[in-house]
Structure 1
């Protein structure tokens, strides 16, 4: 994340020094964007119920197996619409509404793996996450110098998210759970935009979204040899994500 932010700042500083004569950023604009999205998607699993009768070492191993950090990534594209007002000092205030289609996803399955505590007991852990439609409304503050605009943004964001977790043992312990939800949170960003002088501009932007986690419990699957006493697994799946994108805007 920090490497990408540093790259964007470096690109901003390396922008052409020449300033366009018509560098007034006041007005409405609309455009499209595309880029790359990433999420660490860390999970945290709490064991309950009959797990209390098992050894602490086994509980720790199972909880860790169901709590991976999924390195989710994928393409991002969408549209934006906004308004900027530039003051005589070069100070710029604005607001922007954008919609993005996210292809950020990842899944994994460990395959049956012997436990350290009881080598004769093996578990297969499975996890998945998918981030889809995103909607954001942000305020923007910046400084303009002719054709160059440097800005920071912060505001509200929501994203459609899905998560899955499952555990299978060689003793026919079969459980899985999932959750689909629209999550809300805060998005911050930093951007550099260049005005071509013909109502078109190009923006490079880094964004970080901090959203609520997904929470769900696993349930016994048909055919499981274990149903009673009840073992329980409660999953807390993080869904924070970042994007690095280019946006092409037309001012009117």
Structure 2
């Protein structure tokens, strides 16, 4: 009987100690923190002509908008603030919600040399320009993960809205000049994965990789004052869109309350 009780008591003490340790490294509850990050973007800037452009040949229209549209890039270092709440289950499964603000300052621009867009107009050359900027973003994310003592690994999926601006312009050697710009908060989504490591009772270090896709920012071009071939005799219109997507690697520090 004693031989049975003694090992049982030891096992009970070990289980209690294990439970106490699990409690000490619990990831449940509210937390907040800050991070630094590196982002790299791939942004599609594309334009199409309105009905006025139908008076031109399909080949000329295709060549103009092929030259005018561009895939822009860009990279930047930034930072952010975040806060959230997690619930941890006895199995180690963790679910949480988080809101965050990130300063990005992603941007890129280009201006082509003067070029003849098509043999249909050999005597006229044009320079085409595009630009974009993603200044900042706000996100609401869901985290699904698993805790292993001092380490928490998790997947991320959420909603993002970003402060996006864009421009498009064309400059002809004959004085033809048009410009368009837009700026707005654009919605989208993000997904990725991350991990946190507990370095003290209340503090952890975090690392995340997140991909963000934003919807398009749409705007139109217009003639600059003094442009040649201006309305009403010559009144072409273009619709442009800027569609950003970017990858972000961030590291930070979080404090649990």
TM-score normalised over the length of structure 1: 0.87
Q: 3-state DSSP class of the match of 1:229?
A: coil
Find the aligned partners of 1:62 and 1:38 in 2 and give their Cα distance: 28
Contact 2:41 2:74 in 1 (8 A): yes
Q: 3-state DSSP class of the match of 1:238?
A: strand
Instruction: Tell me, yes or no, if structure 1 residue 132 matches structure 2 residue 99.
Output: no
Contact 1:20 1:197 in 2 (8 A): no
Deviation at 1:168, TM superposition (A): 1.0
Aligned position for 1:152: 155
Find the aligned partners of 2:86 and 2:126 in 1 and give their Cα distance: 55
Deviation at 1:145, TM superposition (A): 0.5
Aligned position for 1:105: 107
Per-residue CA deviation, residues 1-32 of structure 1 (Å, 9 max, x unaligned), is xxxxxxxxxxxxxxxxxx99942111211110
Find the aligned partners of 1:189 and 1:131 in 2 and give their Cα distance: 19
Aligned position for 1:69: 71
Q: 2:251 is matched with which residue: 227, 246, 250?
A: 246
Aligned position for 2:229: 226
Per-residue CA deviation, residues 29-80 of structure 1 (Å, 9 max, x unaligned), is 1110111112211122111243222222221111012210001221220111
Q: Counterparts of 1:107-122 in structure 2 under 5 Å?
A: 107-117=109-119, 118-122=121-125
Per-residue CA deviation, residues 84-111 of structure 1 (Å, 9 max, x unaligned), is 1111100001111111111111111112
Aligned position for 1:214: 217
Deviation at 1:192, TM superposition (A): 1.5
Task: Point out the structure with the larger helix share.
Answer: 2
Unaligned runs of at least 5 residues, structure 2: 1-20
Q: 2:144 is matched with which residue: 137, 141, 146?
A: 141
Contact 1:131 1:162 in 2 (8 A): yes
Contact 1:23 1:197 in 2 (8 A): no
Unaligned runs of at least 5 residues, structure 1: 1-18
Aligned position for 2:192: 189
Q: Counterparts of 1:166-177 in structure 2 under 5 Å?
A: 166-177=169-180
> Structure 1: which 4+ aligned runs deviate by more than 3 Å?
19-22
Q: 3-state DSSP class of the match of 1:188?
A: strand
Q: 3-state DSSP class of the match of 2:60?
A: helix
Find the aligned partners of 1:121 and 1:95 in 2 and give their Cα distance: 57
TM-score normalised over the length of structure 2: 0.86
